[in-house]
Structure 1
């Protein structure tokens, strides 16, 4: 978006040029004395006796760019803000603790929130005023940033006691907001220890999610529509479960569940929110029919959806879901993978050269120019590209009316490659290359699970290769000299520039990477990944767990010394909350190590914080419900032990393959099936005291505390 004010040189005190964050560097040219968040910003505010003006956003945020060009590029805005405030820019993806704290404050102040996020703080860090996007001057009922700066600046000098009162009111409102959102309605029920009570909560959450489903267009609620991977997983986990566990007839509810799941996944896969040419999913649909997206592409969305479609393929057998997995994986490899690294960058911008969606939309004439008249007309019909006007600012967001025939797919696969080649010659959206640990952890687990479903036991399948390379990066590269995980890793900005590390890992990073490592251990039988995942699970307890009230703090006071408050991120949107993910990790370890009481106790305490909100906010606590079910649902454990000398990789996978196939998950519908395989003597708790009998692969099958006799016969296991 072009500005109507003259370009000004950077402010001499603008400190963002050397920032590792792309988002911060995007503001380094501005005539405004920006600095990064840190203790020095607070100290400078105390020294100058002025408030702190904080603007938080992220590199692929469209309205962040609008506000930057319209307001922060203006030297008049820079002069007003610089004179009256210490000015701080926050990359919310680098500092989720600071951003989440300020978001809570703005929601208390205004009743809503979003990005760009604007907050004004006392020098001691307490917020007293805030909002989101503001124009440079007042417009359509919105105050302008110039008026805001002058008004707050004058009030700071003339009516500071009123500002102190506002800060106290915001602080009090923030204290009560979380308790009101997730208060446990079962106050007389005590601890969540009875299985019937906990599973009733999960079932109620699942039923509430079904009640919110859009049975016409898929998804949950109205516009804008966000992909719901965690809600879909909760529904998939419920198929047949009540019948197996409680003896209830679930034919009708299973039909409703499958209908909601397939309608949602099909609508997204065929809609404009899915990149029909390049694969992968955009951030969300601005409408209620999944047609016109907000065009940014996020790693965390695509990581979760890759896994969701893999799980849906396992549950339904629909080949289109396997195709979605492979195409999304191809997008990740092509567009988000960091060259020379096993890690993946965080996002592609919504804008290209200042205009949203330019890279992705097509006119009918452009399709014909690339494919010829015959194929171009065919593509126009297949992809619903309107001849006159288009469906997006004179062009077309491509979508499918339904699932094409196999013959059409054969033609479209070749035509699609030609369109992608042509599209790659267009200007491309900016790529934020920072590798966020938590989002890469989500992808790690997704790749491992997708390989389990689609890999066919092939250790050379690209899904598993990518998972192993990513795991090594997270364990060996994205760590400091002490081996401690870091929130972000930035590749060098130039041929000779070294990579750099960001802040210490936050709770969500540690939880997501722990989960990803445990999923990889399950997929490969390689105990090194279990060992690392378990160590991270212990770190969650040591640094982030609130032993007094349950749940996880976003930041650790041991390492995040410049954080604001003791914030907890409890809702599962758009990624699993640290509390939900940690509870799931601890639940899995509780089943693997049943004699280690800390795992079950910590998981239950964390979920107790969230359980009351599950039936009332099912789509925002869906992952917490999955974790609660994983902890409390009846469990079947299958341990497969190969002889000591079996090599890791393909030899081990081949050795245990017959047993894995014999014990297909359908045999245990309604139960948590946990599979552990490895070699006799590996340092895994589930392998302790279990041997490969007579030098042959041996299976141990247990339900609860009752085990069947070990067997070396796959047919006997399947019986």
Structure 2
């Protein structure tokens, strides 16, 4: 069989027309490969594969150079369904493994531990194939330059894809027969990956407030062109919960209040957030969101649940609640925060990374129901109510007659249809939900990737701290503080720099930009929620490292990595949003907030240069730069800072906490402190205390402050 690999290598592999040679059968032995000392759950899942996997490191890279063999680099993550499929089909296959071991140096990487490697080689795969995804399969020269790649390959040809062994055979033959051409193609591809941003134009400044308002109207109009007015979201299936798009629209709705674009922004955001919770992508029993919907109606999820989705969607629903005052959004926030505290928190204090889609070898089995399984738990009468409430039918909406639970009908409607007193509907709904949740806990659960990542924990800490102050839920703030203390104790080195990943007492891998940016943002969120000076001081120290190690003076934006790892082909600059907010955008936002809190120009200057550098690109593609555009008003006009000094009486402070969570104070940064500081390193607190034994607000913009207030604005 002839296997054509890529356009760039078409000439090399056109000669590889012979059938692949089947390797001799190899007896399976339960021996460990070189992944045995790793801590990543994803890597440990492959430790007994017959493939002689190495982790990324000197041992594997040196062996590739000394033996002159190409590297097969496989990148995935624990919750990835197709990663598990490829492992079972190919990496557990003795014949395929023997061929891999003979002809390649095989390296396994957890993309969540090494996003730097993932980003570089995903860019290569996208250049080669026009698309990307996981599992990622890339072949490299011993100099680590990619020359061929793809995603999932079946063991045997199907789905319109060549078989994995056929691919391996053609590459091995080409490596022997056409090495010079492979090297030339690898050089060409590596050169094409360079994405260094040009130098920022000298004297280029930010837009004005008037230009910002006009720009926001244009950006809203641009996003409206792909908005799904029937089911919410943007584009077609599969649909991802792009929280940053929605948070941008909510911010634009506030700023453009009273205008048609403002109303359109509000409609798109709130409609999408509501539709997302009505479908099966939202876990009706435990809370929390799955990674994406496989259909356009948010009905059937891809069942893996990622920490970063909870960390970005909770703030989106909090913003929706503040703008709309609709309690249903606050309910989603509480359920999702409770999910984090109940199911995702590590005993040491941090939060786990994800849960799998599969259990007992079947995707979604843990989450689905039938009328029969409902009755087994609830009895016939309550099962009928649950079936109407959650849309569970004999035919099902998923595979094999199973149903994913949805918000099919409001509880009062379900009750009325079944003759249940309407005034009992809400209590019955909660009772049914709790009983089904407890019954589900007895099932075999999907696996959990229990490593702790600095960046994703930063998102979760920010979400919990924000929920704590906006919903007046101290337990969420306490959980956020505990996780932040854990990261500072376990992830911060003696020189003040951060590590990225921790599991079972071992922290490793140098932090990347998103680790710094997200964690600094989390520390600032905790400072706003508690007024404790230590959070701001830690944020400033990490901010100094972020500027020193990642900021590029020439382009005005940040690199993704600190440049210390010589095995990386290059330092990427990727200022656009992905599944998580762009690290560049969050870095610029935290610099802006640090300046608002400290009035130190060392924070403001790089922030202004960064926004100026990105404006043209962001304006032309707002959905890719939503996290850059959302806080832009704070860069154009410095945000106000609302400091509340309490008296030690929580009730008086709670009055201000509620007021500052309302839309009246959307444009200010709140800082709530229980009592006055006797001595303070923070200028915000110096010379400020409560007035007339009441919690007191000090509202300032830059160097200009209003008179203290003891009562909120009506």
* TM-score, length-scaled by structure 2: 0.89
Alignment match, 1:640: 644
8 A contact 1:569–1:577 mirrored in 2: yes
Do 2:76 and 2:134's aligned partners in 1 also have CA atoms closer than 8 Å?
A: yes
Q: Is the 8 A contact 2:469 2:661 kept in 1?
A: no
Q: C-alpha root-mean-square deviation of aligned residues, in Å?
A: 2.6
CA distance in structure 2 between the partners assigned to 1:196 and 1:189 by the alignment:
20
Report the alpha carbon displacement of residue 74 of structure 1 after superposing the two structures with TM: 0.7
Q: Does 1:551 align with 2:557?
A: yes
In the alignment, what sits opposite 1:369? 376
Secondary structure in 1 aligned to 2:605?
Answer: helix
Q: Equivalent residue of 2:107, what SS?
A: strand
Question: Match for residue 142 of structure 1?
Answer: 161
Partner of 2:684: 686
Counterpart position of 1:347: 354
1:116 to 119, 135, 157: 135
* Secondary structure of the structure 2 residue equivalent to 1:684: coil
The aligned residue for residue 548 of structure 2 is: 542
What is the CA distance between 1:263 and its match in structure 2?
Answer: 1.4
Say which of 588, 594, 613 aligns to 2:593. 588
In structure 2, the CA distance between the partners of 1:664 and 1:303, relative to structure 1 (3 Å rule), is: closer
Quote the Cα distance in structure 1 between the aligned partners of 2:409 and 2:233. Answer: 17
* Structure 2 residue 80 is matched with structure 1 residue 82: no
Q: Cα 1:166–1:375, aligned 2, differ >3 Å: closer, same or farther?
A: same
Supply the distance in 1 between the matched residues of 2:612 and 2:30 (Cα, whole angstroms).
Answer: 50
Instruction: Tell me the residue number matched to 1:27.
Output: 46
Q: 1:133 aligns with which of 147, 152, 164?
A: 152
The change in CA–CA distance for 1:500 and 1:310 in structure 2 (over 3 A counts) is same
**Residue pairs, 1:390-409, within 5 angstroms:** 390-405=397-412, 407-409=424-426
Q: Report the CA distance between 1:197 and its aligned residue.
A: 4.0
Per-residue deviation, 1:365: 0.9
Mark the CA change 1:699 to 1:134 in structure 2 (over 3 Å): closer, same or farther.
same
Q: Is 2:287 the partner of 1:279?
A: yes
What does 1:406-417 align with in structure 2 at a 5 Å threshold? 407-417=424-434
Corresponding position of 2:713: 718
Query: Following TM superposition, by how much is the alpha carbon of 1:705 offset from its aligned partner in structure 2, in angstroms?
Result: 4.6
Name the SS of the counterpart of 1:142 in structure 2.
Answer: coil
Match of 2:700, SS?
A: strand
- Among 298, 314, 318, the alignment partner of 2:326 is 318
* Residue in 1 that maps onto 2:491: 478
3-state secondary structure, aligned to 1:259 = helix
Alpha carbons of structure 1 residues 148 and 396: separation in structure 2 relative to 1, 3 Å: same
Aligned match for 2:581, one of 576, 582, 606: 576
Q: Give 2:234's aligned residue.
A: 220
Is residue 2:313 matched to residue 1:299?
no
* Distance change (3 Å), C-alpha of 1:369 and 1:195: same
Q: Distance in 2 between matches of 1:303 and 1:255?
A: 27
Aligned match of 2:699: 701
Aligned to 1:504: 510
Report the equivalent of 2:443.
426
Matches within 5 A, 1:146-545: 146-175=165-194, 190-192=204-206, 194-198=208-212, 200-242=214-256, 249-250=258-259, 252-338=260-346, 340-405=347-412, 407-455=424-472, 461-480=474-493, 482=495, 484-491=497-504, 499-545=505-551
1:201 Cα offset (Å): 3.8
CA distance in 1, matches of 2:282, 2:660: 35
Give the secondary-structure state (helix, strand or coil) at the position aligned to 2:194.
helix
Tell me the secondary structure at the aligned position of residue 112 of structure 2.
coil
Q: Secondary structure at the match of 1:272?
A: coil
Measure, in 2, the Cα distance between the counterparts of 1:557 and 1:329.
36
Partner of 1:607: 611
- From the superposition, tell whether residues 130 and 530 of structure 1 become closer, same or farther in structure 2 (CA, over 3 Å): same
**Higher mean C-alpha displacement, 515-524 vs 297-306:** 297-306
Cα distance change on mapping 1:540 and 1:240 into 2, 3 Å: same
Going from structure 1 to structure 2, the CA distance change for 1:189 and 1:535 (only over 3 Å counts) comes to closer
* Deviation for aligned residue 1:387: 1.2
- 1:5-20 correspondence to structure 2 within 5 Å: 9=28, 14-20=33-39
After TM superposition, give the deviation of residue 330 of structure 1 in Å: 2.0
Measure the CA separation in 1 of the matches of 2:66 and 2:218. Answer: 54
State the alpha-carbon separation in 1 of the partners of residues 148 and 661 from structure 2: 57
Distance 1:30 1:608 in 2: 50
* 1:153-196 residue CA offsets vs partner (Å, 9 max, x unmatched): 111111112112211221232225x76xxx99x98993435444
What SS does the corresponding residue of 1:40 show, helix, strand or coil? helix
Check whether the contact 1:665–1:673 (CA below 8 A) recurs between aligned residues.
no
Residue 14 of structure 2 corresponds to none
Instruction: Check whether the contact 1:9–1:30 (CA below 8 A) recurs between aligned residues.
Output: no
1:325 CA drift (Å): 1.2
Matched residue, 2:72: 53
Uncovered stretches (5+) of structure 1, i.e. residues with no partner: 244-248, 492-498
Structure-2 residue corresponding to 1:246:
none
Q: CA deviation at 1:663?
A: 6.0
Q: CA 1:703/1:142 → structure 2, altered by over 3 Å: closer, same or farther?
A: same
1:200–1:168 CA distance, 2 compared to 1 (3 A): farther
Aligned partners of 2:26 and 2:213: how far apart in 1?
A: 61
1:234-260 CA-to-partner distances (Å, cap 9, x unmatched) read: 1111233135xxxxx41x333322322
What is the CA distance between 1:219 and its match in structure 2?
Answer: 1.1
Q: Render the CA deviation track for 1:446-479: whole Å, top value 9, x for unaligned.
A: 1111111111xx6xx3212211211211112333
SS at 1:138's partner residue?
coil
Q: Deviations over 1:214-248 (max 9, x none)?
A: 111111111001112111111111233135xxxxx
Structure 1 residue 548, shift from structure 2 partner: 1.3
Q: Following the alignment from structure 2 to structure 1, what is the Cα–Cα distance between the partners of residues 577 and 88? A: 32
2:641–2:671: 8 Å Cα contact kept in structure 1?
yes
After superposition, the C-alpha distances for 1:336-360 in whole angstroms (9 at most, x for unaligned) are 111x221111010111122100100
- What is the match of residue 496 of structure 1? none
1:590–1:201 Cα change, 3 Å? farther
* Secondary structure in structure 1 of the residue aligned to 2:109: strand
Quote the offset at 1:445 in angstroms: 0.7
Distance 1:157 1:672, change over 3 A: same
CA contact (8 A) 1:60 1:347 kept: yes
C-alpha separation in 2, matches of 1:700 and 1:674: 10
Q: How does 1:622-641 map to 2 (within 5 A)?
A: 622-633=626-637, 635-641=639-645
